[in-house]
Amino acid sequence: MDGPGQAEAKVYVALPEKSKEGKYILSWVLNNFPNDSIKIIITHVHIPAQLIPMMGTKFPASQLSPHQVNLYRKEEWEKAEKHLNDYISQCSKARFKAEKLMFVSDDVAHGLVELISLHGMINFVMGAASDRRYSKGMTEVKSNTAKFVMEKADPSCQISFICKGHLVCTREAILPPRNLSQSASMPTETNRQNVFPRNSSFDVSNLRGGMSPGFLPRSPIRPSRLHSDNYSIDFSEGTMRSDTASSIASEDVYSHSDLLSMNRDDDLEVRSLESLGSTREQGTLADVCVKLQAALADAAKYRVQLNEEICKREKAEMDLASVIQKEDETKSALIKEKQEMEFLHKHEIEMIQRQLDLLQEEHKKVQEERDNAVKEEILHKQEIKIVQNRLYLLQEEYNKLQERDNAVKEEVLHKQEINIVQSRLDLLLVEYTKLKEERDKAVEEAEELRGSAGHGSHATFSEISLLELEQATENFSKKHKIGEGGFGSVYKGFLRNTMVAIKMLHPQSLQGKPEFEQEVAVLSTMRHPNLVTLIGICSEKSALIYEYLPNGSLEDRLACQGGTPPLTWQVRTRIIGEICRALLFLHSNPNPIVHGDLKPANILLDGNLVCKLSDFGISRLLMETNSNTLVYRTEYPRGTFAYMDPEFLTSGELTVKSDVYSFGIIILRLLTGNPPINIAADVEDAIETHSLHLIIDESAGEWPFVQAEKLANLGLRCAQMRRRKRPDLESEWKLVEGLMQASSLSVSPSFKSQLDEKSTPSYFMCPISQEVMKNPHVAADGYTYEAEAIKGWLDGGHKTSPMTNLPLPHQELTPNYALRSAIQEWLVKHS
């Protein structure tokens, strides 16, 4: 420790090994001390690891060899020094002189206390608590280490406690600094007289603050500290403490022999005083004798006490010798145990080595066998190749001979075979003509049956030739293709003054023909504003001609393909109602029809974003079973997995509740915009955790929460895994109709109200005249208007759309025959 007179003082800073944890403590020191007269001592207590990693696991240090332990201890030490060098670099950048001081101990708190005592520190800085426990107004230390150091450290040391760069508190020094430069050797006579006066009134209690002489050390050796396994016996204080890291500075004290010498000196002084009394006057001698007798009595008293303390000290020494002996015995037992463990470890290593040798031999044998097998396989392949070449040559020779023999026969029979084949072709052509006539007749009969089995509707499509389709699509040009799937391709064309969509069946499709016939059978007998209108068919190419819907599929609009804006929540609510109305229409047939593949890709949107169900290729007509249940059974369920009824997948039974399940998934998709996989579970979790607002599709606008919650619950009820838990759409229609009305859109009347009341669907009304259209035409903006109204708008000089106010690319009008047919049919029903 530097004395007070030296120019450069030292500040000891206790820091952890990693610089990240001690940066605030060191920063406080660098900011609060001058760099020109202070040297910083980076102090660190290093705790050796008791478990040492070895061969993929950790072993106690006592089970490893000294060499292995020393190597790991060296590596630990070097790593700690490397981390402490980061602190040195930080001090150098701040222009501070810095050194590092490392100390090994089993406990940080005890190690710091011992360091403070050993180095006589007068200015010490350490952490008060972990940085994360810091709070404003913190005035006391929190960690157990800081509390221990505050209580046990040398009182001559001032300690500053820091937390997250703030001074929490300071323990001031209450004693002057100790001088560690004093010699630890035996004091001289002069020094003894300076420390303890040699006279009859000598008071032993002055030693070390009143310590009794019996606990004085026998010799003034270095700090009296003896270590056992668990205790350090400190004779300089006369106490025994369980602190292995305690330390006491050395001092000049008297030995036992010095005290005995002091007693003999006292006797000589007494004799000399008695001889001196014969030469003095009688009165003075009497006074001196009285004082001398009192002094002798005190000396005798102190001698008795001294002898008692000496006995106690000898007893303590005997106890200490017993403890040391026990310690030696324990060490011997540990050494013996260690030797036994090393022997067992060595034996285990030898066993493992023998097993490794055996495994290597086995591996070598297996390798040799594998090499031999590879060689045999190569030879075998070569032999096979040679045989194959020979067979190939023989086969070629045989073929040449066979060709020669056949050439002669073919020349003779060729003309006869041609004549026979020609006659057979003529017969087949006649048979084909008859079969075609019979098939056409059967188709006509089937159409008549379908017409009588429907809702009073009649087929409104016509047979269209392949030539017309080629002209409408410029010979099926790629620029007219608008879609493609497993069934075939979809083209956009202009046919008979009408924009149409042409669905061509793929020639190699195995299931395309039945689906084609099924879709024709359904759409030819069903007519509804929310079902796609079938205009005609081409039997020659198995093509279906529909009305053209300019806004594509609901799937495309949800994905905003082509840069189209997202559907608003009002439009989505209306679409849900329109899908529900179409399903009610299909399911209310005496023999209900199940769509079977209801999904956003099969829901098309017209210019007014009115939805129409399409793709009835796998729809089925339900028949009543013995259990009075309307069901269709199949061994090969088909459809789109994410929207398919789980019970249909497992049992093969298709019912109207299968469409209800698909309808529920579509509701949740329109509400959240999420993919269909696991969407029901996600919405259910959101409702249970009151976080539905977090998964609602914000691109649709600001949903009214009550409406969104009702739609979510409706979708979850429809998407139940068990069929019997799903509701009937007829019972849910009032809820759906109310939600449509609440969305402030034009609401079409319910399925039942259309049969009972004369309400007009909104899409039958002309946007300009607000009257039921008699001759609907589609303008360039994709919207449908009454022909006279839109022509009057265009003739008036308008070049923009009446609905969007955007410029029209052209002024051509296309008749919407499908909508006109639907309007006429509706008018007939309500006339």
Quick one: DSSP state of residue 566?
A: P
β-bridge partners, 546: 501, 534
**Mean pLDDT value of segment 503-515:** 68
**Mean pLDDT value of segment 420-446:** 65
Q: How confident is the model at residue 649 (pLDDT cuts 50, 70, 90)?
A: confident
CA 38 to chain CA centroid, nearest Å: 50
Q: Are residues 719 and 577 in the same domain?
A: yes
Name which of 190, 181, 182, 259 is nearest 219 in CA terms: 259
**Mean pLDDT value of segment 37-50:** 92
Q: Residues near 554 by Cβ (< 8 Å), separated by ≥ 6?
A: 575, 600, 601, 603, 604, 605, 611, 666
Asked if residue 786 has pLDDT above 80, the reply is yes
**Contacts of 689-697 spanning 24+ positions with Cβ under 8 A:** 696/671, 696/672, 697/566, 697/670, 697/671, 697/672, 697/673
Determine contact, residues 586/614, Cβ cutoff 8 Å. no
Average model confidence (pLDDT) across the chain: 77
**Mean pLDDT value of segment 593-619:** 85
Name the CA radius of gyration of the chain, rounded: 54
**Mean pLDDT value of segment 29-53:** 90
Asked if residue 11 has pLDDT above 90, the reply is yes
Q: Are residues 570 and 656 in the same domain?
A: yes
Give the CATH number, domain containing residue 798.
Answer: 3.30.40.10
Burial label for 662, CB within 10 Å (0-12, 13-18, 19+), is: buried
How high is the pLDDT of residue 159?
95
Quick one: DSSP state of residue 220?
A: -
Q: What is the pLDDT of residues 767-783, one digit of tens each?
A: 888 788 989 998 888 78
| Rounded-to-integer distance, Cα 700 and Cα 744, Å | 15
How high is the pLDDT of residue 264?
45
- Axis crossing angle, helix 282-453 with helix 256-277, rounded to the nearest 10: 160
| Residue 496 backbone zone (phi > 0: left; psi -120 to 50: alpha; other: beta) | left
| Rounded-to-integer distance, Cα 70 and Cα 112, Å | 24
Q: Are residues 33 and 81 in the same domain?
A: yes
Task: Give a yes or no: residue 246 inside a domain.
Answer: no
Both tokens assigned to 402: 């066979």
Task: Give a yes or no: residue 289 inside a domain.
Answer: no
**Mean pLDDT value of segment 441-468:** 56
Asked if residue 126 has pLDDT above 90, the reply is yes
How high is the pLDDT of residue 687?
93
Q: What is the pLDDT of residues 45-67, one digit of tens each?
A: 999 988 888 777 888 888 888 88
- Per DSSP, the residues of 252-319 read ----HHHHHHHHHHHHHHHHHHHHHHTTS-HHHHHHHHHHHHHHHHHHHHHHHHHHHHHHHHHHHHHH
How high is the pLDDT of residue 182?
41
How high is the pLDDT of residue 338?
87
Q: Are residues 777 and 826 in the same domain?
A: yes
Asked if residue 292 has pLDDT above 50, the reply is yes
Greatest mean pLDDT range, 179-188, 667-676, 757-766: 667-676
How high is the pLDDT of residue 619?
61
Residue in 154, 234, 266, 597 annotated catalytic: 597
Asked if residue 210 has pLDDT above 60, the reply is no
Strand order in the sheet with 653-654: 623-624, 630-633, 653-654
Q: How confident is the model at residue 4 (pLDDT cuts 50, 70, 90)?
A: very low
Of 132, 151, 171, which residue constitutes the final position of a domain?
Answer: 171
Q: Are residues 540 and 570 in the same domain?
A: no
Task: Give a yes or no: residue 652 inside a domain.
Answer: yes
Q: How many domains does the chain have?
A: 4
Q: 3-class DSSP state for residue 341?
A: helix
Give the CATH number, domain containing residue 700.
Answer: 1.10.510.10
Task: Give a yes or no: residue 411 inside a domain.
Answer: no
Instruction: Look up the domain containing 96 and give its range.
Output: 9-171
How high is the pLDDT of residue 576?
94
Asked if residue 220 has pLDDT above 70, the reply is no
Tell whether residue 829 is among the known ligand binding residues: no
Q: Are residues 778 and 804 in the same domain?
A: yes
How many CB atoms lie under 10 A from the CB of residue 157? Answer: 25
Task: Give a yes or no: residue 615 inside a domain.
Answer: yes
Asked if residue 546 has pLDDT above 90, the reply is no
**Mean pLDDT value of segment 5-34:** 83
β-bridge partners, 227: 232
Q: How confident is the model at residue 751 (pLDDT cuts 50, 70, 90)?
A: very low
Task: Give a yes or no: residue 257 inside a domain.
Answer: no
Q: Are residues 765 and 659 in the same domain?
A: no
Of 171, 202, 221, which residue constitutes the final position of a domain?
Answer: 171
Strand order in the sheet with 784-786: 784-786, 776-778, 814-815
Unique residue bearing structure tokens 């478990």: 51
Task: Give a yes or no: residue 434 inside a domain.
Answer: no
- Axis crossing angle, helix 679-688 with helix 705-718, rounded to the nearest 10: 130
The Cα angle at residue 723 between residues 720 and 727, in degrees rounded to 5: 70
Name which of 125, 42, 52, 46 is nearest 85 in CA terms: 42
Determine contact, residues 175/156, Cβ cutoff 8 Å. yes
How high is the pLDDT of residue 12?
95
Q: Are residues 572 and 703 in the same domain?
A: yes
Determine contact, residues 242/336, Cβ cutoff 8 Å. no
Q: Are residues 820 and 776 in the same domain?
A: yes
The Cα angle at residue 166 between residues 160 and 168, in degrees rounded to 5: 50
Q: Residues near 176 by Cβ (< 8 Å), separated by ≥ 6?
A: 156
Of 745, 775, 794, which residue constitutes the final position of a domain?
Answer: 745
Asked if residue 728 has pLDDT above 70, the reply is yes
Q: How confident is the model at residue 617 (pLDDT cuts 50, 70, 90)?
A: low
How high is the pLDDT of residue 131?
77
Please say if 597 is a catalytic residue.
yes
Model pTM score: 0.41
Give the CATH number, domain containing residue 501.
Answer: 3.30.200.20
Give the CATH number, domain containing residue 73.
Answer: 3.40.50.620
Asked if residue 203 has pLDDT above 70, the reply is no
Q: What is the pLDDT of residues 319-371, one digit of tens each?
A: 888 899 888 888 888 998 888 888 888 888 888 988 888 888 888 889 888 88
Q: Are residues 612 and 736 in the same domain?
A: yes
More confident residue, 683 or 2: 683
Percent of the chain with pLDDT over 70: 77
| Rounded-to-integer distance, Cα 36 and Cα 49, Å | 39
Q: What is the pLDDT of residues 528-542, one digit of tens each?
A: 888 888 888 888 888
How high is the pLDDT of residue 793?
87
Q: Are residues 718 and 624 in the same domain?
A: yes
Q: Are residues 617 and 651 in the same domain?
A: yes
Percent of the chain with pLDDT over 90: 23
Task: Give a yes or no: residue 493 inside a domain.
Answer: yes
**Mean pLDDT value of segment 622-637:** 60
